[in-house]
Amino acid sequence: MIPKIQLSPRLFIFSLLFTFLTTKCQAYSIPLISECNSEEAPVFLLQRNVSSVAGTEPLRTVPVTGGFLECAELCSAANNCVAVRFSIEKQCQILGKATKETFLNLQDVNWTQARLATKSCVKSKKICSSPFHFDVHEQKILVGFAREVVAAESVHQCLTACLDAVDTFGFECESVMYYPLDAECILNTEDRLDRPDLFVDEKEDTVIYLDNNCAGSQCHAPYVTQYVAVEGKQLAEELDHNFDGMELTECEQLCNQRLSVSVGF
């Protein structure tokens, strides 16, 4: 016979509140993916302010002449790669799922300043040529630019919806906010660079904000690509690159193509 446990009303309410809070605020990690199926294509998510991913281990390190983009392409072609690190010394480290508990001293191998991108998969043909396709910011939201809300059981479905927004909804999705506990994906018409004043912390709901790095890489008919001169302005803390000896048209082409392999991103 199992004895009954009497809970006071106050203790019962507290237990319900605790359950609600832990459910709403629980951590969510984007799944590690090593191989996409035949209907999907690999994309890469730039991870900000981190130099390692839990549950991964280095598989190999190779020098690359084609920069960050070539490093990402090596991971795309490898069925056991889930992420890459690209160092300032142009070293590309391929990361796979950890087979055992590993402790990597990042200071010893000089990877603390490396750029890190994880592999994901989407069912879209609107993928641009870029070392990374989305820029991840956890527990951040962009206020005031939600255009469409779609159901998404996974972050991969959310990313696909954003890439295909022109065909599906008639507008270009510049960023998304994915709520994993609600299985909802919000498509935005602007990104954090357009309105940094409205890019704020989210302290209640579990959310992942991602910039669409493919947005703006090409204009869709009937529109054409144009550049507007803005003097005395520079984006802070972005992946800026200077190239000498180029004509304006050559520079525009690099931007349109999101930097090709030949320029050593």
CATH of the domain at 203: 3.50.4.10
197 pLDDT higher than 80: yes
Other CB atoms closer than 10 Å to residue 138's CB: what's the count?
18
Lowest mean pLDDT among 2-6, 57-61, 137-141, 226-230: 2-6
Span 62-76, mean pLDDT?
92
Higher-confidence position of 223 and 10: 223
Encoding tokens for residue 105?
A: 């001293």
List the domain range (segments joined by +) for residue 157: 130-223
The distance from CA 206 to its chain's CA centroid, rounded to whole angstroms, is: 16
166-188 pLDDT tens trace: 999 999 999 999 999 999 999 99
14 pLDDT higher than 70: no
- 3-state SS, residue 140: strand
CA-wise closest residue to 162 among 174, 151, 153, 179:
174
- Residue 113 and residue 135 in one domain: no
In this prediction, residue 231 has a pLDDT band, given cuts at 50, 70 and 90, of: confident
User: How many domains are there within the chain?
Assistant: 2
Q: Are strands 134-138 and 41-47 parallel, antiparallel or unpaired?
A: parallel
Peptide bond between residue 222 and the one before it cis (omega within 30 degrees of 0): yes
- Residue 75 and residue 151 in one domain: no
139 pLDDT higher than 60: yes
- Residue 99 and residue 141 in one domain: no
